[in-house]
Amino acid sequence: MADDNSPTKQTGTSAMWGGRFSSGQSDIMEAINASIDIDQRMAEQDIQGSLAHAAMLGATGIISSEDAAAIQRGLEQVREEIRAGGFPWSKALEDVHMNVEARLKEIIGEPAGRLHTARSRNDQVATDFRLWLRDACDRIDAGLAAYQHALVQQAEQHVDQVMPGFTHLQTAQPVSLAHHLLSYVELAERDRGRFRDARKRLNESPLGCAALAGTAFPIDREMTASALGFDRPMANSLDGVAARDFALEVLSAASICAVNLSRFAEEIVLWCTKRFQFATLSDAWSTGSSIMPQKRNPDAAELVRAKPGRIIGSLTGLLVVVKGLPLAYSKDLQEDKAPTFQAVDDLELALAAMAGMAADLSFNPEALEEAAGEAYSDATDLADWVVRELGRPFRDAHHIAGSIVRMAEDKGIPLAALSLQDMQSVDKAIDESVFSVLSARASMNSRTSFGGTSPTRVREQIKAWSARLAGE
Ligand code: ARG
């Protein structure tokens, strides 16, 4: 069924809705109207929905059980043909719904025309799209779980690895590398929660809302809803065909998730530079430069960093499409799928890349440890010692430690290299035991508060995460 000699073209009007039309469409009308290039990705869901609808029409006696059975057999054949590849999608038939129905007609003849009883493409497309997004949420959840798993495995190897923790990208306090990695596991878990929430809310069936007002046929919406794995039929037929907030929610979750991924991607880019030298990516995750032979570029991390541009673009695009649309269905809503499919594809690829890179990173213990001890990252430990051992208020201790840091800075040496006399010139009460807290490792080990970076606490978190991810 090639575009040019399809039955539609020959008769000049659509066989599906052409009853009151006498002449054919402009080619440009056909081009702007057709969505088949995009929505053929919902063919599986479309057939699933039609199978459920046909079974219900048969069970309620709206069509004969023979016709229902013929339709079901025919749909299964169409599904096989589509799965086999090379299905002759026709632009003249506009969209996936009419392409499937037209092929069904070729296969089974007259009963095919009964499938669309008590249904409209408006509830059909809303049903297909919800089913497609439900699967997408599940795939994204699996992608996030794989990413978390890779992070936890890296964390297991690096609990005692000290590195600088940053605020303002200035060296702040030493932390465990595992603690740093686990923070992304927490973030990914909240992303999973957002997709779960979206999935739960979208899992209602619009099928049977028909064009907008419901139908006069005695349909059984509970039956189709449960056959399709929906929690319930949607309670308002206008809402069923008009709502696209479910796609907006998935795109919002995707946007937040992409932004979250971009933060670790950015750190990978930084860590792999000569300036940081915290980590390297293997050849599998690096590219070279066509002019500079020495270059190893973290292109995948850069591309993940860029993905929010596209994914937020999809969210913004669909928000603008839906904004101000009066109820119920308008063709504007056909523009929902391209940005959504694009965003889901981008996010799935970004997740796979992040899981791959998280597993691939190899860390440079010397560079991490050296950087952890730089830039007076133990200054807070000095102030805390003054509070704890000398009983001073924190504000005063902060001042004392600040003066000692300035002195060390003037001499160009770390705090631990100052003499006790130097320290005592700032505060006479300081004694030798102060030196025990002045190292990056001592600093990391000391932060034993719940959620803190001490290896003891981090090991507990790793254990909890391993058990949780293994139990899924
Ligand atoms: N291809 C259309 C879409 O994606 C299907 C619904 C068409 N409905 C209609 N009344 N023309 O939105």
CB of 35 sitting under 6 A from ligand 1: yes
Please state the atom number of ligand 1 nearest to the C-alpha of residue 35.
Answer: 1
Which residue CA neighbors atom 11 of ligand 1 most closely? 331
CB of 457 sitting under 6 A from ligand 1: no
- For the segment 299-322, what is each residue's pLDDT rounded down to a tens digit? 999 999 999 999 999 999 999 999
> What pLDDT score was predicted for residue 24?
83
Residue 284 Cα to ligand 1 midpoint, Å, equals 44
Which residue CA neighbors atom 2 of ligand 1 most closely? 334
pLDDT, the chain, mean? 95
CB of 334 sitting under 6 A from ligand 1: yes
Please state the atom number of ligand 1 nearest to the C-alpha of residue 211.
Answer: 10
> What pLDDT score was predicted for residue 13?
62
Which residue CA neighbors atom 12 of ligand 1 most closely? 334
Q: Which of 65, 282, 289, 362 is catalytic?
A: 289
Which residue CA neighbors atom 3 of ligand 1 most closely? 334
Strand-pair partners of 142: none
Which residue CA neighbors atom 1 of ligand 1 most closely? 95
> Would the pLDDT of 114 be above 80?
yes
> Would the pLDDT of 402 be above 90?
yes
Residue 5 Cα to ligand 1 midpoint, Å, equals 23
CB of 244 sitting under 6 A from ligand 1: no
289 is catalytic: yes
Mutate to test the pocket of ligand 1, among 331, 332, 337 (most ligand atoms within 8 A of CB): 331
Cβ pair 210, 237 in contact under 8 A: yes
Cβ pair 63, 98 in contact under 8 A: no
Cα 15 from chain centroid (whole Å): 41
Residue 332 Cα to ligand 1 midpoint, Å, equals 9
> Would the pLDDT of 395 be above 70?
yes
Provide φ and ψ at 163, rounded to 5°: -145, 165
Residue 186 Cα to ligand 1 midpoint, Å, equals 40
- If one counts every other C-beta atom within 10 angstroms of the C-beta of residue 332, the result is 14
Q: What does the block give as tokens for 438?
A: 């002045």
Cβ pair 430, 424 in contact under 8 A: yes
- For the segment 17-72, what is each residue's pLDDT rounded down to a tens digit? 778 888 888 999 999 999 999 999 999 999 999 999 999 999 999 999 999 999 99
CA distances to 199, 342, 351, 416, 459 from 347, rounded to whole Å, are 16, 9, 6, 47, 31
> Would the pLDDT of 7 be above 60?
no
- For the segment 446-468, what is each residue's pLDDT rounded down to a tens digit? 999 999 999 999 999 999 999 99
